[in-house]
Each structure stands twice: as C-alpha cells, then as structure tokens.
Amino acid sequence: MAEDLLLIEGTKEEQYEALLPQIKALIEGEEDLVANLANIAASLKQQFRWLWVGFYLVRNDELVLGPFQGPVACTRIQKGRGVCGKSWELASTILVPDVEKFPGHIACSSLSKSEIVLPLFVNERVMGVLDIDSEHLDSFDTTDQRFLKEIVSWINFT
C-alpha cells in the first residue's frame, strides 16, 4: 500500500470505516511492532486531528512511552496513576470527557481536555495502552471505543 492515506470527511463512523482498512493494509504482513504502532498513531492523528495519539508499553512494571504523534509526552507512568495507569490497572478502556475531573489525571499537556485509553492485550495480559487526547471536551464516545478496540486487536506483540 502507498504511504498516503485517503482521508475523508463525514460522520465519525464513516471516517473510521474508511480508515480501518487502510490501517489494516499498512500493518498486515509487517512484523515490527514499533513500525506498526507508529503507523497506527500517525493514521489516527492524521484522520481525526486529535491533539495526541500514541502508545505506552509495559516495561519493568511501568508504562514507558512508545511511538506517538503530537506534543512531547510523559515518558514513564506508574500502574494506577493517571488515565493510562488506571486503564492498565483495571485492564479496561477508560473514556474521560473532562480530564480536569479525573482523579489523579497526569497533565502531560495543558491543552488536553478529554481522553480515551484502551489496553493492549496478549493472552489477557495488558502489554500497553493506546492513549488519545483531544483539545476539546467530550471528544470520545462508544463509537471511538468500538473502532479503536478493533484496531488494537490487530496489534501483534510477537
């Protein structure tokens, strides 16, 4: 596949439906985890123009910054701290409509207003998280959760 995305306007669902096959084509057959995470982050950032899209990977009992698109970010996050650490601890997706109201939110960027974090699983074990931040309140919903969950299910850690 060419390294250009076909970006579309439309509803959030229509945008995901156009983007998902393109992401799948980018990562299908590529075995390098970093390359795939980088292309997923870039594709999501380019289509939706969110503030920050990236991955944190579990390393030595903490989350360590992985491939991302956006402003510089926190490098390490402890389990249970902030939205990413809490998603890891609970092994579940967390939607945050207003980060100022999330107890213990870690403000890597003061521009972030809402956030969604999805855990990455291998055999029911959390190996990392996909973290997405928006400059707008209440940017994420169950549509995002559904499509992003499908995308992270394609990530191969082996």
Q: What pLDDT is stored for residue 158 in this prediction?
A: 76
Give the helix ranges, DSSP H, for the chain. 12-27, 33-48, 82-90, 142-153
Percent of the chain with pLDDT over 70: 98
**What is the spatial distance between Cα 30 and Cα 38, in angstroms, rounded to a whole number?**
12
Percent pLDDT > 90 in the chain is: 87
Q: What is the pLDDT of residues 53-97, one digit of tens each?
A: 999 999 999 999 999 999 999 999 999 999 999 999 999 999 999
**What distance in Å separates the CA atoms of residue 126 and residue 64, rounded to the nearest whole number?**
13
Report the pLDDT value the prediction gives residue 107, as an integer from 0 to 100: 74
On whether the CB atoms of residues 51 and 139 are closer than 8 A, the answer is: no
User: Which CATH number does 12-153 carry?
Assistant: 3.30.450.40
Domain boundaries, given as residue ranges, for the chain:
12-153
Query: Could you say which DSSP state residue 152 is in?
Result: H
Confidence check: pLDDT of 138 > 90: yes
> For 1-13, how does the pLDDT look when each residue is reduced to its tens digit (9 = 90+)?
456 889 999 999 9
